[in-house]
Structure 1
């Protein structure tokens, strides 16, 4: 009966795997548009600052059919739903 061949880890195999993973990440970064990239904590904080600085909540009005709350827009003077 012949013995089963046992694959061993080699430095070349590890290098090839690392190079392949790096190429995939670079291609993913290059071909992903800015609109499709995930939001970061900084992006969310900037959005929160923008909303809380410009819009004030309207307490005596109900939510719209989509469940959004009414807010007074300081810049335009209109009530908007966010």
Structure 2
């Protein structure tokens, strides 16, 4: 059962933000309301553009790290799949 998620948001300034959560809808709402990560606070509204699900927290956190290491073009390729 997938209880852990890695997500990518497109911010209002067209930057991409990657994060981990156990509840995607709640987390996106937090970002949109300015209660999410410091990075997204001045960049609302945000749009959910990619989600991956995992059975374990460690797998999700590893994937989050992988995505964060991608170049901008690599992230754009990921979200356009």
The interval holding the TM-score normalised by the smaller chain is under 0.3
> Relative to total residues, which structure has the larger helix share, 1 or 2?
1
Q: More strand per residue: 1 or 2?
A: 2
The structure that has the greater radius of gyration is 1
Select the structure with the greater relative contact order (CA < 8 A; seq sep ≥ 6): 2
TM-score (norm 2): 0.26
